Structure 1
């Protein structure tokens, strides 16, 4: 068990249009929700942006620019963590005729996926450490080849932006370990154990601990689960040596039938942690722990 943790709030997520109005969509809504989450105790805010017409996740530097500017101009100073997960979705034509791929395919080059990172220089951005089948389409696959990951990791190292290595499957952790061994990740390495996501690692305790036992030496890591297990994981994560993530990207509910806001999820997590004797870090304490570089 660790005695102090930082909380990351995942504000809106990518993917399709959100299913509830509490999930922020416009840059103003996303920034305001992030500011409220920071005031409630989140040390970091993890950000996607959404198309204003379709409301689906999109890689649009102008939208990211507005969201980040609004947060940086506010009276709170959370660690900003931007996604690089857009532009890696392949949808095959069909199981009998996979090529050409479906028009739903959204594949970009390694550096194209980093254009908003290159411009805005957040302290952290995500790096999904491998490929994974998804439930959104039975012919859809999240594609992250070893070559792409090495290219992205190298560019992030040049920019001085710390990658948060996202682990959805056991093989992803092996890839993350290789990137670290190859010197492409500056220490201390930061990992996110993503539990209970479709066709990934299940959210049970034994699976979590199996991942923990394969982590590289000196790693600083968080663990979260989606859906109803999100808040129980706020209590379970520090028992496994992990930091905490909550937010509407992963779960819409504060309790059964009670829809949440991001600030309410952060507040509930801080209450849980306080009751079990775990102190919540400030943004500056998180920066110091991870040796983050501020560019703003």
Structure 2
């Protein structure tokens, strides 16, 4: 029997909260830069745009809804991509701060980390001798002594206040096998219903390393817990593991995530000039593998989001 050709969703994580301005001049930090790079990424083929906010004055991560309002409505007006707002923010933000803008915006999709964990990126600061802003060095080096918090009660609050109340779907970020079991517990409790959008995050210190064997482990565990027909599987490879790992994920039947949140590089030793450059690279790889890239509308159908007309972005 002939089956429809599988489509691959490209997610682009535009700026995140790990990398700092001193690490790359191409990292978007102002509202205009974030908007421009997100729009370019969507035009290059990203169906989902994963967004964090930065303080326009110094590039530090911020949960301020007023800052999100400076770029999210523009992105929504100039693209048809699914806008995915973080609920992770950074390790230095409270849950209330992390939820402030998502609750205001009521987007189609939000990220949701599936557990508390060590989340260390202090090694990213090695080799930097001159920092552009005073906040950067203590922020990066201090990550060695911080924990990202998402307890079961925290997760339930996000599911209730965003999912149940506003129809937002979730990118369930799983950094370890235990996070898949955390999600399975929530399924058993009746708090999460398929189809799930699982983002397998490998390469963060504190979670699973970016070894191919770990990707196989995450995929097989998800199959066993949920049944392959009940979830969409996406792969994120941190840093230098980005392209090789997500290519493997696509071959295994998954979707892919790129962006300067996850890696500052396009290839070994070459900084990416933009998020769109990474989108174009993975798009070329996918097409050479005879895989088709999903449009935003096709991604909406796969992820069963509520649609652009049911969000609350401010003009």
Same fold (TM over 0.5): yes
Which residue of 49, 65, 68 maps to 2:72?
68
Residues 1:153 and 2:159 aligned together? yes
- Structural RMSD (CA): 1.6
User: Which residue does the alignment assign to 1:36?
Assistant: 40
Distance 1:254 1:69, change over 3 A: same
1:140 and 1:112, CA in 2 relative to 1: closer, same or farther beyond 3 A?
Answer: closer
Give the ranges of 4+ consecutive aligned residues of structure 1 lying more than 4 Å apart after TM superposition. none
CA drift at 1:54:
3.1
CA deviation digits over 1:243-277, x for unaligned, max 9?
00011111111122222111110000000001111
CA shift, 1:107, in A, is 4.6
Deviates more, 1:142-151 or 1:132-141: 132-141
* Residue from 133, 145, 162 that aligns with 1:139: 145
Cα deviation digits, residues 9-68 of structure 1 (max 9, x gap)? 010011363311111001111011000000000001100011123312110101112211
CA contact under 8 A between 2:63 and 2:97: conserved in structure 1? no
Structure 2 portions without partners, runs of 5+: 123-141
Aligned partners of 2:93 and 2:281: how far apart in 1?
Answer: 37
Q: Deviations over 1:206-264 (max 9, x none)?
A: 11111111112211120120112211123211222210001111111112222211111
Residue 285 of structure 2: SS of its match in structure 1? Answer: helix
Does the alignment pair 1:49 with 2:34?
Answer: no
Partner of 1:14: 17
Contact 2:64 / 2:100 at 8 angstroms: preserved in 1? no
Structure 2 Cα separation of the partners of residues 167 and 234 of structure 1:
15
Give CA-to-partner distance per residue, 1:70-108, whole Å, 9 cap, x none.
Answer: 11121x211101101126x3xxxxxxxxxxxxxxxx352
Does the Cα contact within 8 Å between 1:203 and 1:225 map onto a contact in 2?
A: yes
Structure 1, 281-290 or 16-25: larger mean CA deviation: 16-25
What is the TM-score of this pair, normalised by structure 2? Answer: 0.84
Is 1:122 matched with 2:135?
no
In terms of mean alpha carbon deviation, does 277-286 or 49-58 score higher?
Answer: 49-58
More helix by share: 2
**Which of 54, 75, 80 is the aligned partner of 1:77?**
80
Q: Are the counterparts in 1 of residues 237 and 246 from structure 2 also a CA contact under 8 Å?
A: no
Q: 1:191: how far off?
A: 1.0
Q: In structure 2, what is the equivalent of residue 176 of structure 1? A: 183
* 1:281 lines up with 2:294 in the alignment: yes
What secondary structure sits across from 1:130 in the alignment? coil
Return the alpha-carbon distance in structure 1 between the equivalents of residues 241 and 180 of structure 2: 22
**3-state SS, counterpart of residue 83 of structure 2:** strand
Give me the whole-angstrom Cα distance separating, in 1, the residues matched to 2:259 and 2:18: 15
Deviations 1:261-294 (A, max 9, x none): 1111000000000111111000000001111002
Q: Is contact 1:11–1:30 with CA below 8 Å preserved after alignment?
A: yes
Normalised by the length of structure 1, the TM-score is 0.89
Is residue 2:246 matched to residue 1:231? Answer: no
Report the CA distance between 1:162 and its aligned residue. 0.4
* 8 Å CA contact 2:202, 2:238 repeated in 1: yes
Instruction: State the aligned residue count.
Output: 276
Secondary structure class of the residue paired with 1:228: helix
Q: Secondary structure at the match of 2:100?
A: helix
The 10-residue stretch of structure 1 (281-290 or 231-240) with the greater mean CA deviation from structure 2: 231-240
Any stretches of 5+ residues in structure 1 without a counterpart?
90-105
Contact 1:10/1:46 (8 A) holds in 2: yes
